[in-house]
Amino acid sequence: VRWRNRSAAEGLALLTESMQIARQHDLKEDVCRGYINIIGAHMDDNAYPSAERVLAEALAFADQSEQLAFLRFMYANQATALVETGQWPAALAAAGRALEGDSVASTALALSAVAKIRVRTGDDAADEILAQLAEEIEGADSLQRLLPVAVVRAEHAWLGGRAQEIPVLVGPAFA
């Protein structure tokens, strides 16, 4: 939490230091958490090239150390970054790898990436994926799970000419 009250550079330095300490002590889960926090910080700043560089390293580490839940969540983050940079076929592939598990966080984030592509391309499957997403996050109270779904629902309504629905669609994420 301390890193969030600092500049971006200071925060990333603290996250990197924390991850290096975890690596020195062979704390693989904590190394993966560190990667996810660093990736998230880059994505929050729309620094997708930096996020993609860290993702490549993180995916290799999680795969090699057999941290499968983290690996799937990293693939879901990769899918999100790839959607936002217009690399949609690669995003769908990354989302597919994220969906190989049963983690709600990974599934919601990966399906959100797929839904964004379907919504942006006018694919009729968008409604089906959005319904699946709603089912996936039902009962969730974590912004990490609710926000990606709220964003894609809002985009779907906006692109469909239903902007008046947006407050109702995103409301649960901010309740």
Token pair in block for residue 129: 């994926």
Write out the H or E segment, with its range, that includes residue 16. Answer: helix 8-24
> Are 170 and 129 in contact, with CB atoms under 8 Å apart?
no
Phi and psi of 163, rounded to 5°? -60, -30
Q: What is the mean pLDDT of the chain?
A: 90
Q: What is the pLDDT of residue 24?
A: 96
Residue 111 one-letter amino acid: L
Residue 127 one-letter amino acid: D
> Both ends of the chain: CA-CA distance in Å?
22
Long-range contacts of 68-71 (CB under 8 A, 24+ apart): 68/101, 69/101, 69/103, 69/106, 70/29, 70/32, 70/33, 70/35, 70/36
Summarised one tens digit per residue, pLDDT across range 82-98 is: 999 999 999 999 999 99
Token pair in block for residue 141: 């109270």
* Angle formed at CA 90 by CA 49 and CA 53, multiple of 5 degrees: 25
pLDDT at 122 over 90: yes
Distance CA 162, CA 175 (A): 22
pLDDT at 2 over 50: no
Q: How confident is the model at residue 1 (pLDDT cuts 50, 70, 90)?
A: very low
The distance from CA 130 to its chain's CA centroid, rounded to whole angstroms, is: 16
Summarised one tens digit per residue, pLDDT across range 8-25 is: 788 888 899 999 999 999
Summarised one tens digit per residue, pLDDT across range 25-43 is: 999 999 999 999 999 989 9
Distance CA 4, CA 37 (A): 11
Distance CA 97, CA 112 (A): 14
Q: pTM of the prediction?
A: 0.88
Q: What is the pLDDT of residue 143?
A: 79
Summarised one tens digit per residue, pLDDT across range 148-163 is: 888 999 999 999 999 9
Q: Is 152 left (phi over 0), alpha (psi -120 to 50) or beta?
A: alpha
